[in-house]
Amino acid sequence: MRGISAILKINSTNFMRDKLRVFFSVFMSVFLLFIFSFVMKSTTLGVANPLNYLISGIIIMTVFQSALSNSTSIIYDISLGFMKEIIVSPVARWQLSIGQVLSATVIAVVQGLIVIIIAIPLGLRIDMLQFIEMVGLMLIVGVAFSSIGLYLATLAKNSTTFQIMITAFTMPLTFLSGALIPTTAMPKIIRPLIYINPLTYTTAIFRYVTLKMEKLSNAALIKAGVAFDINRFVIKPIFGLLILIAMSLVFFIFCVRQFAKADFSNAKAFDPHSR
């Protein structure tokens, strides 16, 4: 288990030491909160507090994007020779991959907690049980999307290619999930894309917990964009949680297996002077 703890410690320490990285990761979330708060004020949602509705979406979006993008650190480690030395060591590759997933998850959850702390003075109200449930959901989301990120990173083996893949992956998923713009305000023509987006159900279950919606009827949940009526079949937030857990397990297995057989001999970091 030394490989897992070593990767976890190194990546977590590097993140905490990079104050500029911490600042801009939180700044982007606050910026989006400021911009989209005006959209929420002019949109009828059928929820008691539209601002809290937006805050909960931005929290889980922060965790999702952070977990996904933090997997790129392994590309830099490999290209600089650090990871190559570890890979040829007696430490099993599965330990390295698990350490990478766990470190990306921890960093993502820390960023999510920072956004929660900032959101409390803005009006977010949560009790201890809600906080524990939110942290648990953030951990599951972190494992799911850091596993996806590591899987894509091992396929790309180039930080430039990886960033392009991440951008192409995150932008549609984020905007179609309802994290920033409610799904109920989106055109019906794109509803099928919303329903097949795993982040849609991730956002829904997180809002369900954060805003204490367990006492609402199915009709109210559908109106709030937390449950979804697909040809009279209602997908409730709890079912979304099952989808999220299943996705976490599947991609975790995929990324560990892919990392174990990946060839990193030609891995490269971004070189601005290359042609």
User: What's the pLDDT tens digit per position in 231-258?
Assistant: 888 888 888 888 888 888 998 898 888 8
Domain range for 106: 2-261
Contact 175, 181 (CB under 8 A): yes
| Chain mean pLDDT for the chain | 79
Angle between helices 93-119 and 19-41 (to 10 degrees): 50
Would 267 be classed as within a structural domain? no
d(CA 11, CA 78): 13
Per the structure, the count of domains in the chain is 1
The DSSP output letter for 179 is: S
Q: Is pLDDT at 271 greater than 50 in this prediction?
A: no
CA distances from 223 to 1, 44, 120, 128, 232 (A): 47, 10, 25, 27, 14
Helices (H), the chain: 2-17, 19-41, 50-69, 73-79, 82-87, 93-119, 128-156, 159-176, 191-195, 198-210, 218-223, 237-261
The predicted pLDDT at position 270 comes to 45
CA distances from 139 to 41, 52, 144 (A): 30, 21, 9
The predicted pLDDT at position 88 comes to 65
Contact 183, 226 (CB under 8 A): no
CA distances from 15 to 4, 110, 204 (A): 17, 10, 29
Highest mean pLDDT among 14-18, 47-51, 66-70: 66-70
The predicted pLDDT at position 273 comes to 37
The predicted pLDDT at position 247 comes to 85
Would 273 be classed as within a structural domain? no
Q: Which of 169-188 are b and which e, b meaning 16 or more Cβ less than 10 Å from the residue's Cβ?
A: ebeebbbbbbbbbbbbebee
Q: Is pLDDT at 272 greater than 50 in this prediction?
A: no
The predicted pLDDT at position 274 comes to 44
Enter the tokens of residue 91.
């430490």
Q: Is pLDDT at 132 greater than 90 in this prediction?
A: yes
The reported pTM is 0.82
Average pLDDT of the segment spanning 144-152? 86
Give every CB contact of residue 74 below 8 A, 6+ residues apart in sequence.
Answer: 83, 100, 150, 153
More confident residue, 225 or 262: 225
Angle between helices 2-17 and 93-119 (to 10 degrees): 40
Q: What is the pLDDT of residues 52-102, one digit of tens each?
A: 788 888 888 889 888 887 766 766 666 666 666 666 666 677 787 888 888
The predicted pLDDT at position 121 comes to 82
d(CA 256, CA 94): 6
pLDDT band at 46 (very low <50, low <70, confident <90, very high): low
Give every CB contact of residue 253 below 8 A, 6+ residues apart in sequence.
Answer: none
Would 45 be classed as within a structural domain? yes
Would 164 be classed as within a structural domain? yes
Would 41 be classed as within a structural domain? yes
Q: What is the pLDDT of residues 158-192, one digit of tens each?
A: 667 777 777 777 888 888 888 877 888 888 889 88
pLDDT band at 138 (very low <50, low <70, confident <90, very high): very high
Would 243 be classed as within a structural domain? yes
Would 106 be classed as within a structural domain? yes
Would 270 be classed as within a structural domain? no
The predicted pLDDT at position 175 comes to 85
